[in-house]
Amino acid sequence: MLEIKGLKADVDGTEILKGIDLAVPTGEVHAVMGPNGSGKSTLAYVLAGRDDYAVTGGSATFDGVDLLSLEPEARAAAGLFLAFQYPVELPGVGNANFLRTALNATRRARGEPELDAVQFLKLARAETRRLSVPDDMLKRNVNVGFSGGEKKRNEVLQMAILRPKLAILDETDSGLDIDALKIVAHGVNTLRGPDFSALVITHYQRLLDHIIPDRVHVLAGGRIVRSGGPELAHELEAHGYASVAAEAA
Amino acid sequence: MSGRGMSAAAQREARASLAQSFLARFEGLKARLPGDARAREAAALAFGERGLPGPRDEAWKYTNLRALAGMAFHEPFTVVAGCNGLLDRLPAIAAPRLVFVDGRLRQDLSRLPGTMRVSGFAQTPDFGTLVHPEREPLAALNTMLAQDGAMISVAEGVDAGTLVLASLAADVHGRPVAFHPRHRVRLARGARLTLIEISLGEGVYLHNPVSEVLVGQGAVLTHVRLQDEAPGAFHLATLYADIAARGTYDGFALNIGARIARTEIHARLGGENAVAHLNGAQLLGGTQHADFTSVVSHEAPSCTSRQTIKNVLSGKSRGVFQGRIEVARGAQKTDGYQMNQALLLSADAEIDSKPELEIYADDVKCSHGATVGALDADQIFYLRSRGVPEPEARALLVRAFLAEALDPIADETARTCLDEAVERWWERQAA
């Protein structure tokens, strides 16, 4: 279970998160929705451990472990995965090599045996097929020359291979057409189960038509201003953030 | 004596004193030195006038030899005890090999090839025609004192396969030694050869090889060099290449060793559609200094030259790239490209880059560029967020940076050998 209490964070001396309270019980998928600049991406990065954000207060624990004290790689080993809003290009690094390095690093950290190239390729091919990702995506350099949709699909492929316990999807739906959106949603839905939780950060309700969340939280001005069931997403879509935020205030 | 605090006058004096000791050695040895005595006398005259290059020599602006000038070098013994350890460090390559120890060809350690003619400079001395002792002081020093070297020639139309040219070096009981091997590689029309040159050693020494390379019409020489000299060594290598019509000189030099290294190449594209690749990578740490200097002369139409030099610099190391492309009046349709990139892994590392174009033809395509940067924080975070520990993430990104330079090396043996060297370098930095 992910438990965030009173989390505050600064970027360059400006407070962006002003005390976030949020709990995602194991096995549940929660959505965080909010207008631009509300702190959605900051929340994602702070949880993943990016060091240009200064945490100034509060806590975030995952299965009782203090996430904020861990290095980013240790958070990944603990089962956290961040699907980036803007996946990073790695020229000169083959995607298959990248995925295998990542998988084996987390396996090593968990005391599991590493996979050799053959075992890895078998696993990776099964996942590419399941997610309708062309095989050649494994051969290309990580995200280099990928379209926006391909980059997002590559994030989902990584997630499928790394099998996190907690996935944070940071606006994974942005820039996707409906087909790509369905693939991304399918990727998340197949991971759903009693041991998997997700925090789906999005601006729009349309992704939530395909990934039905257990709870929806509205983030505005650095705080969760409202929480509710899946119907809250529709309400936001119908009335806009302004009215919902105003109502909460 | 480190020489770093020396005044300009003291440095000049130290250079002059080392030059004098080389000249005195020549006087003492010259009756016994092989080959054309007049060529040696002319080189001695040139070296006597010029001396060792100093900071006022334009070609040596970024590479100061003061650390070298503070040394006293001795003659290498002909038989070095304990070179087995050095032999063991040679990559296991099944190909024929020529092994030099302190600049002398050791037949007993070599495996002679059947596909080409090979002899020692000591037996068949030939100074060739491409070297310019009057222009390059270290070539003058070499011409003056060369005692041995590899004379390699591949006959017309023959694919000679792979040959390893290994230079093993060791100082003698802690006394620095200097040696100046003179190599010549000649490929006749349509011939092919992959030459893998490896330099390594222990202790303090000066390895000052000069190579003359002649690539005949339609011939292809793949020349891969791995410089992994001892941390206290000086490696100052000068290569002159002449490439005939449709011939290819495909060169790659990886510099990871030595205290001060210089890879100097003068390549002349002398016939139509000749090709020169003068690629390289320099991986440095500590206070290492490595200089990659090249002059490519396009003297015939429709020739191509390509150069990608990658520098990975950590500690207080310094990389230098000087690249000059000259296009003669008649050399239309010249295609010249030059790129120097540096990845600085520490705030104290430094790169100096000096590209130059000198073009006298009007229908040419020449470009050059340089980039300098640190590892990208976003890329490191991306990898770490996927569970890859920071040191491993950095290593992966350094390898990725080098990939563009290493990937064109098609010869698998050579590539493996370089990849292993890159890994060794990385392990040394981590240690």
- What is the model's pLDDT at position B83? 76
Provide the H-helix boundaries in chain A. Answer: 40-48, 72-77, 95-109, 117-130, 136-139, 148-162, 178-191, 231-248
For A107, which residue in chain B has the nearest alpha carbon? Answer: B387
* d(CA B408, nearest CA chain A) in Å: 13
Mind listing the pLDDT tens digit of every residue in chain B (431 residues)? 444 567 889 999 999 999 999 999 999 999 999 999 999 999 999 999 999 999 899 999 999 999 999 899 988 865 666 677 889 999 989 999 999 999 999 999 999 999 999 999 999 999 999 999 999 999 999 999 999 999 999 999 999 999 999 999 988 778 899 999 999 999 999 999 999 999 999 999 999 999 999 999 999 999 999 999 999 999 999 999 999 999 999 999 999 999 999 999 999 999 999 999 999 999 999 999 999 999 999 999 999 999 999 999 999 999 999 999 999 999 999 999 999 999 999 999 999 999 999 999 999 999 999 999 999 999 999 999 999 999 999 999 999 999 888 999 999 999 999 999 999 998 888 77
pLDDT of residue B2: 47
A79 part of contact set with chain B, CB < 8 Å: no
Name the residue among A52, A91, A158 with its Cβ closest to that of B386: A158
Q: What is the pLDDT of residue B174?
A: 81
How do the domains of chain A map onto residue ranges?
2-91+164-248
> Quick check: helix, strand or coil at residue B146?
coil
CB-CB under 8 Å, B392 with A72: no
CA distance A115 to B376: 28
Interchain contact A51–B (C-beta under 8 A): yes
Angle, vertex CA B68, rays to CA B65 and CA B72, nearest 5: 150
The pLDDT > 70 percentage for chain A reads 98
Q: What is the pLDDT of residue B316?
A: 97
- Please judge whether B383 and A102 are an interchain contact, meaning their C-beta atoms are less than 8 angstroms apart: yes
Beta-sheet strand order (sheet of A2-11): A14-24, A2-11, A54-62, A65-66
Mutant choice from B378, B385, B397, B406 vs A, greatest count of A C-beta within 10 A: B385
Other Cβ atoms within 10 Å of B2 Cβ, number: 9
Question: What pLDDT, on a 0 to 100 scale, did the predictor assign at position B341?
Answer: 97
Give the pLDDT score at B4: 56
pLDDT number for residue B5: 64
- Which residues of chain A neighbour B380 with C-beta distances below 8 Å? none
Does the distance separating the beta carbons of B387 and A105 come in below 8 Å?
A: yes
What are the backbone dihedrals phi and psi of residue B55, each rounded to the nearest 5 degrees, phi first?
-60, -20
- Distant-in-sequence, close-in-space partners of B29: CB < 8 Å, separation ≥ 6: B145
Given a cut of 70, the residues of chain A with pLDDT beneath it are 245-249
Query: What is the DSSP code string of A75-118?
Result: HHHTTEEEE-SSPPPEEEEEHHHHHHHHHHHHHHHTTPPPP-HH
Nearest C-alpha in B relative to A92: B400
Could you say which of A50, A77, A92 has the minimum Cβ distance to residue B381? A50
Give the residue on B whose Cα is nearest the Cα of A82. B385
| C-alpha distance from B23 to closest chain A C-alpha (Å) | 49
Q: Is the dihedral of CA B107, B109, B114, B117 positive or negative?
A: negative
ipTM, two decimals: 0.96
Has domain A2-91+164-248 been given CATH number 3.60.20.10? Answer: no
Q: Model confidence over A60-96: pLDDT tens digits?
A: 999 999 999 999 999 999 999 999 999 999 999 999 9
Q: Tokens 């959505």 — which residue?
A: A31
* Residue A33 at interface with chain B, using a CB cutoff of 8 Å: no
pLDDT at position B78, please? 55
Q: Identify all chain A residues contacting B308, using CB atoms and an 8 Å cutoff.
A: none
What is the chain A residue with the closest CA to B382? Answer: A88
Residue to mutate among A52, A98, A100, A103, with most B CBs inside 10 A, is A98
* Residue B389 distance to chain A (closest CA, Å): 6
